[in-house]
Structure 1
């Protein structure tokens, strides 16, 4: 049963955002100041129009031209200030979001692998894609517009009071309905959006599981079952979307009622005050314009509550990941590359161990090969020795330093190599940021990649990965092995790092792997038994146990499990040739 990653509380989310915001106080205050000035300038429009009405009613058209020019100037100043304010607030929001994204990535990369697996890859993926996108959209538009609308509303209320307090009192007729509607909406929308985001994560998780495991699904005839599961998750998400639409309809219906009642009250108050001689027609017109001008900001602000509620739910999911303590980084210096593992036990499902109390010892500079059938526990053992997984029981030390404190001294290369999009040189410098071009080329030569790299249009400056030059599986493996040479760790673990190469490239990759392991401790999960033959010692694994151990020649001569595997592999290679 999956356990989703934590979701932060509103209080913790606010505290996290405020902590990031403190780094950008100057820009925040500048943006807020510009928005306040823009809102104040916009208040000049209604009195100017009111004065034009009074001049027209009095039959004095002369000064009207100057009032029109003043209106134009106010509009231009308000537009300029609003632009500066909105841009500054949006910039601050992007900077805060960038900080949160960096923390998200940092904690995601440092999170225990088991924790991610318990939550399901779909949960983490939806947070780093959909949730970040929702918060980013809110930061660019909703937050600045919400801030501007709130300032316009607050200053307009003061404008009504300045005209006559009775106009403000008449406008208050709409406030109880608006306040109740807002409270009613927020009470229902926050949990609805939280459930909606969780539903989207569940939908994505099910899609990933069904599509990612398509061969297995087809092999066992589970297509209809998985289709039903996907249909169930999609139906749940659609039901939540329908709930949101129904909530919106009721929300805006009540707001329209509040607007109608409020404007009617202001117009009635204006009629009575003008008839009683307390105010002029222009003043009453200005009051009506003030209130009418509130429709846009109030509706915008309350409508943006919808976006902000959704963004708040997504923000809580992003911040929740940053609250997961990452594993300790491998920063302790190790004496050498020796490996000592004692009593290793591990289970992916409670009660079903895949490793059963293993003891493994590798001297500094030595090489062991792990061989055996599929499901024997080889890759699990390699991941534990690399510090990628934590054993349920037992301990591992590298050079006398326990994992995970020594995990920085180990590099694991698997058959699934990721080529980062960008110049090839930048990809290599991920392992050694200060490496010179000559050092990069030396590493490529050492793993036999200099031929194809030299043929690239721009050499190591050629853009590779997504959107660039596509590397073959063999070339990608050579790139990964070159990274190992550049990082120069005491221990290198190669988990079937030559398995993806065809027969033509296997020898080149095996030569490259041997070059990488020179002078350092090596652990080979051997797909090709020719690699096992070159190791100092071979461990034959079956069902999570070491069933044979020794040198290649000794195990072949013993005629046991390893000898059978060697004979079968040799026969297959002979038949292929």
Structure 2
């Protein structure tokens, strides 16, 4: 007797440490066991089946063809046992070697036909599975990319990351390996039992004696395994979230000497994963030991039945041999089918998590199709809070004329970035109203806001692929000449054409590595191609260093020509060059006016400008002294860059 060996790592469950319990959620997305996080929704069983039926309905022909080929291949393979039984009868009756020629040739033909059908059926099933997977993945990504940022933050980034990585990988693995094997195994079981009934109904009864043990084994396994997989899916998200926090914020962790606590937390979760993995292995081992018992009972009953029937002359030795071979051939299919319930449990949990997000209500598209008349921005009584009772913005009122350049200035935490993201539609205001080009954003809808406003932050992503394809994300039908014009506008054409293959050069992950300044050039070129009436630059030049920042500031100026610009200024010269400066403090607008007016007013902005001017003078002194000591004439010394902010520079850093 045989049983499949368990060499899977997917049994492992990752359990959060005490005090950080998480559970799967229903479609409301509410987690009752983790008050601090509202995980993204998970579809129920009925909803998952309905989604699967809907996807398969568009591929009926492929599904039917796969089923027919697999049935034909399995049916042909079942001819092996009767042919072997016939050979046994010929040997018993001493028919001679010549009588064996035809059965042996037929065995070869059956083997070849079965193999060809198995390959064809496997290909069709795999194609069907990959088609379903691609559809689910596309629906999930399309919906996930449009989730409100608050919803993602409430769930934790690890929840979404684990769904798009480990859950998709689990389904892909099941589709490519488990689905074809399970389909073949199920068909083999059904048709083999039918073959036993054809030989003699009493053989079928003997084979069915193993079924109660198998059913009890499966029930025992499912009761214990199902919770493991449900917890595993959520715990994977918790681990992803912790890893993102620790690795993504490594600078903060080191700066505040949090290495120990973070390492201890990861160690606790790893220890919990080890303990649960051992429990999972114990469950699998117990499951297969019970299946081995079922095999023993069934085979013993089959051999005993064959002995009695042959002794009574009811069947020939060859028929009894065929029946025994039939039952023995069920070992692997039955074990595989039952064992693949393991995959089905895990894949089903992953599928439900993907469908839970994919089935979230679509973005509301307002009727009427209004579009902004120009690039004017009006913010009235705006409020926003990341957590209840802790407002970040309060009573913001701001009017930006079409084509005007406005700089947002303030200390870290003043609300500059939050205001920029609320105007861009990334965050939803908790109070007040916003209108773009004279149209309320609620009438524009999310898609209308995205067409009207483009936000560029200092965290620019370069997508893997040709540079031209990366730029065409902003304008899919742009020609190469239009791409070059956009690059030329932001001063990036020279280095782009100097790349090994020009616009066809593969950049991003695994390709040509772009510098920070070049990546921002790409983002600004996308802005030119998208050509929105309103552009928001949120510290878009902060990571380029002093010299690089000046180059990017000039590029940003050219990219903003002809459109309304809202700039979150991390360098006060940016604010000084703007048409108007808006100073925020504590989530409120405390000053607004031109650079000259605000400096003359002697308020908050004047203090920041004075502090910045002092820091520049302090930076000039040692540089000039060093130049004189070297016997050279002094030159202009650039202002402290973002990597060396002091005084007002640090007060103008990032943050909400």
Using the alignment, how far apart are the partners of 1:362 and 1:353 within structure 2? 23
1:43 maps to 2:43: no
* 1:467 and 2:502 correspond: no
**For 1:432-447, what aligned pairs fall within 5 Å after superposition?**
432-447=475-490
Residue of structure 1 equivalent to 2:410: 372
CA shift, 1:567, in A, is 2.3
Deviates more, 1:51-60 or 1:329-338: 329-338
Query: Separation in 2 of the partners of 1:287 and 1:224?
Result: 65
Matching residue of 1:523: 566
Question: Once the two structures are superposed, what CA deviation does each residue of 1:407-460 show, in whole Å capped at 9, x if it has no partner?
Answer: 121000001100011111101110011111111101111101012112111111
Aligned pair partner of 1:304 in 332, 340, 344: 340
Query: How do 1:394-543 residues align onto structure 2 when only pairs under 5 Å count?
Result: 394-403=432-441, 405=445, 406-408=448-450, 409-543=452-586
In structure 2, distance between residues paired with 1:435 and 1:210 = 40
Aligned alpha-carbon RMSD (Å): 1.4
SS where residue 378 of structure 2 aligns? strand
Matched ranges for 1:82-231 at <5 A: 82-231=118-267
Query: Structure 1 or 2: larger helix share?
Result: 1
Q: Deviations over 1:477-525 (max 9, x none)?
A: 1110110110100100000111122222222211111112111111000
| More divergent stretch after superposition (266-275 vs 339-348) | 339-348
Name the SS for the 2:330 alignment partner: helix
Distance across 2 between alignment mates of 1:506 and 1:204: 34
Given the alignment, which residue of 37, 52, 56 partners 1:2?
Answer: 37
What SS class does the counterpart of residue 538 from structure 1 fall into? Answer: strand
Partner in structure 2 of residue 264 of structure 1: 300
Aligned match of 1:340: 378
Which secondary structure does the structure 2 equivalent of 1:457 belong to? coil
Instruction: Show CA shifts across 1:144-190 (max 9, x none).
Output: 11111001100001100000001001111101111121122223222
Provide the C-alpha distance between the structure 2 equivalents of 1:431 and 1:569, rounded to a whole number of angstroms. 37
* CA shift for structure 1 position 222: 2.9
Q: Secondary structure at the match of 2:180?
A: helix
| 1:103 positional shift | 0.7
Contact 1:368 1:539 in 2 (8 A): yes
The 8 Å contact of residues 185 and 247 in structure 1, kept in 2 or not, is answered as yes
* Residues 149 and 297, structure 1, Cα contact 8 Å, conserved in 2: yes
Q: CA deviation at 1:326?
A: 4.6
Are 1:547 and 2:547 an aligned pair? no
**Equivalent position SS for 2:435:** strand
Task: Give the C-alpha shift of residue 294 in structure 1.
Answer: 0.3
Structure 1 residue runs without a partner (length 5+): none
User: What TM-score, normalized to structure 1?
Assistant: 0.98
2: distance between equivalents of 1:467 and 1:453? Answer: 18
| TM-superposed deviation, 1:207 | 1.6
1:111, distance to aligned residue in structure 2 (A): 0.4
Find the aligned partners of 1:194 and 1:249 in 2 and give their Cα distance: 20
Shift of 1:304: 0.7
Look up the match of 2:395. Answer: 357
Q: Give the distance between the partners of 1:29 and 1:570, measured in 2 at CA.
A: 76
SS of residue matched to 1:431: coil
Whole-Å separation in 2 of the counterparts to 1:328 and 1:437: 35
Distance change >3 Å, CA 449–CA 124, structure 1 → 2: same
Provide the rounded CA distance (Å) in 2 between the counterparts of 1:108 and 1:563: 44
Task: Confirm whether residue 561 of structure 1 aligns to residue 604 of structure 2.
Answer: yes
Shift of residue 48 of structure 1?
0.1
Distance in 1, Cα, partners of 2:404 & 2:365: 25
Tell me if structure 2 keeps the 8 A contact 1:199–1:237.
no
Q: CA deviation at 1:82?
A: 0.9
Question: What is the rounded CA distance, in whole Å, between the counterparts of 2:503 and 2:477 in structure 1?
Answer: 15
Determine if contact 1:496/1:525 at 8 Å carries over to the other structure: yes
Compared CA separation, residues 224 and 502, structure 1 to 2 (3 A): closer
Structure 1 runs of 4+ aligned residues shifted over 6 Å read: none
SS of residue in 1 equivalent to 2:463: coil
Q: Distance in 2 between matches of 1:407 and 1:566?
A: 34
Matches within 5 A, 1:320-335: 320-328=356-364, 332-335=370-373
Task: Report the Cα distance in structure 2 between the residues aligned to 1:465 and 1:373, rounded to whole angstroms.
Answer: 34
How far did residue 270 of structure 1 move? 0.3
Q: Displacement of 1:215 after TM fit?
A: 2.7
Equivalent-residue separation in structure 2 for 1:295 and 1:557 (angstroms)? 90
Question: Which position in structure 2 is the counterpart of 1:57?
Answer: 92
Please give the alpha-carbon distance, in whole angstroms, between the structure 2 residues aligned to 1:429 and 1:34.
Answer: 43
Q: Distance in 2 between matches of 1:130 and 1:157?
A: 38
The CA distance in 2 between the partners of 1:427 and 1:216, in whole Å, is 31
2: CA distance between counterparts of 1:124 and 1:194?
Answer: 16
1: distance between equivalents of 2:93 and 2:594?
111
Alignment partner, residue 643 of structure 2: none
Gaps of 5+ in 2: 1-35, 621-636, 638-656
What is the TM-score with the length of structure 2 in the denominator?
A: 0.86
Aligned 8 A contact 1:199 1:233 in 2: no
447-456 vs 148-157, greater mean Cα deviation: 447-456
Residue deviations 1:243-301 (CA, integer Å, cap 9, x gap): 21111111111110000010000100000000000000000000000000000100010
Shift of 1:329: 6.3
Give 3-state SS (helix, strand or coil) of 2:145's partner: helix
Which of the residues 277, 281, 284 maps onto 1:245? 281
